[in-house]
Chains A and B, each alone.
Chain A
């Protein structure tokens, strides 16, 4: 019990950091599902591409472990390129791979999404790097380690958590408090009716893809600065975890995705810390099965539409 009490605060913090990343990616799954009722399995790879864009910019701006421009500017440029690039990639994927299938059988876009995922992973592996790529974070962000009572965390870990939560709050406000957000919710509720009300559905869908993918791109930047290493396969398992988080929270529900992501991160960290690292993924997917059995609609139940 002593062991548990001594280690619990630290493992909780570790879990919240990891979970905030899951939540950020889970939001993308949930947004797109909310609008299109489609699982965008390429989403994890959009995140991966965002991380590589950030790593590329960082590689250009850092020579011999020293940033050639002010570090703050370098980080801002990384965010700009990764967020913009990932957003445009998401829009491109929607336009090329999903829109032609919008009225097809539900399985068709799902399979296309898996195809896009494989394409992105292989393309990065062949054209960019088969080995992990360094993000020179030492030159870009302070390597301060924070000590609060017995809890230790790098500043970048705290930044990851704060930035992720801020983005989630902003997204929530965007969807529930702006005119465009109403259009999104209307489209989610009934696409045809939304068209009759004068909503440009294609535009709403494109913007949704842009926002979801941009969030993933931001996740890629934050991940790179925290963990300093990106590789072409990083989006695969993280994508599945984020998808799990979205389903646990109730897919289609924005607040559900946030809570689901944080819960999953904490669960993983506590299982790793107090049971065994071997069982981390086992428990994650056990949690998914349990939630689906007891509450098939997810913890937060109703999809985005009914909250309008």
Chain B
């Protein structure tokens, strides 16, 4: 297939960004590490760039803020960027560079469940293992397979699926057309939601979209024929805009004769523009909080910092994970800072231990992982497309 070209782009991106990192070292102070690197991994270009690019900016800002506050005992952390383009093969190639370099101490990401599941064995079997903190991988298997490297700050599918199902039922759903996008993430989540709906005697019909699909005429006819009053679409995002545009063009208007609930990647204001307004009224749940939508001074300070760094209107392009990406980076950086420095070196094994045992201070308050690597007390948030923005309408706990 057409994948190798992606490697070249990713390599260029990572070299360019690595060069921006600071980092000088004399090794004079006993507790000052010589070199500290972390990686940001996700789909930063390609079909899912609209969710990846905002997360990358958040991670870059987190590293910058951390370095401004003194870094790791005076050593500036360098960020390498791995653009996996939402494919596990690309991820493995990129991760191999980090695995062989002991100064790469952890990964913020990968963002996609499918990428995690396709590359986690390599990270786990590395010596020492290379830990990661994902900001968005929600498939239950990510942390259920017993790999110690796995951590995530977002909620799981088995929390999100029932929460999504319950939300639709609470809103009066009678018949739900359940769709996924043929990925580990979306299929797993749609399964959970469909199961919850069926357990509550709501009739469902299941269908799938293809990655990059633009023509939904066949699907829309099936929705009409089934007589659904809700469409549930678990997806990373890029298919939503053409889908809802065509729903409208074929007589299904969101908020009038159909309701729409999307997930995560569809909690993205750019879909409103890309669908020329057809998305207005749609709901989307997110497994992470939007810092602009929660109370708390740390979150408010971060939102202000993000706008100062990237421009006043940058939040509309920030995607659904700019909060959790910053949070995940904070967690990893603090675990590194808490790890002992021996002969100018920090060991990945120690970082892994501290990730498991410490409590971290983040933009969303204090965070701790359970024994599997899931965050304790992760929440699910419901958003609605209003005007040109996604607005929090409800928090449902996981």
Contacts and interface: CB of A to CB of B under 8 A. Distances in A.
A308 to B, nearest CB: 37
Given A14-B221, A121-B2, A152 B251 contact: yes
A137 B276 contact: yes
A256 B147 CA distance: 55
A122 B218 contact: no
A72 interface: no
A3 B212 contact: no
A38 to B, nearest CB: 20
Interface in B235-251: 238, 241-242, 245-246, 249-251
Contacts of B250: 145, 152-154
Interface stretch (A85-93, A186-194, A226-234, A290-298): A226-234
Q: Could you say which of B5, B221, B241, B250 has the most chain A C-beta atoms within 10 Å of its C-beta?
A: B221
B217 A17 contact: yes
A10 interface: yes
A25 B251 CA distance: 29
A18 B274 contact: no
Contact of A228 (B221, B222, B276): B276
Interface string B42-55: 00011101100000
A278 B206 CA distance: 11
Contacts of B212: 231, 233-234, 237
A132 B276 CA distance: 13
A122 B9 contact: yes
Interface residues of B, number: 36
A195 interface: no
A165 interface: no
A269 B276 contact: no
Nearest to A132: B238
Nearest to A156: B249
Contacts of A138: 276-277
A181 interface: no
Contact of A14 (B45, B208, B218, B245): B218
Interface stretch (A28-36, A96-104, A123-131): A123-131
B218 A273 contact: yes
Interface string A108-138: 0000000001100110011000111010111
A10 B219 CA distance: 11
Contact of A126 (B9, B219, B241): B9
Given A132-B47, A132-B274, A228-B242, A277 B219 contact: yes
B209 A277 contact: yes
Contact of B217 (A3, A14, A228, A231): A14
Contact of B47 (A136, A228, A231): A231
A145 B220 CA distance: 14
A136 B182 CA distance: 28
B65 interface: no
Interface of B: 2, 5, 9, 45-47, 49-50, 182, 207-210, 212, 214-215, 217-219, 221-222, 225, 238, 241-242, 245-246, 249-251, 270, 273-277
8 contacts: A7-B225, A122-B9, A125-B45, A130-B46, A132-B241, A134-B241, A231-B238, A278-B182
Given A130-B45, A134-B273, A229-B241, 14 more contacts: A121-B2, A125-B45, A131-B238, A132-B47, A145-B250, A152-B251, A223-B214, A227-B242, A231-B212, A233-B47, A234-B214, A273-B222, A278-B208, A280-B210
Closest 7 A/B residue pairs (Cβ):
A14-B217, A130-B45, A272-B218, A154-B249, A130-B49, A138-B276, A227-B214
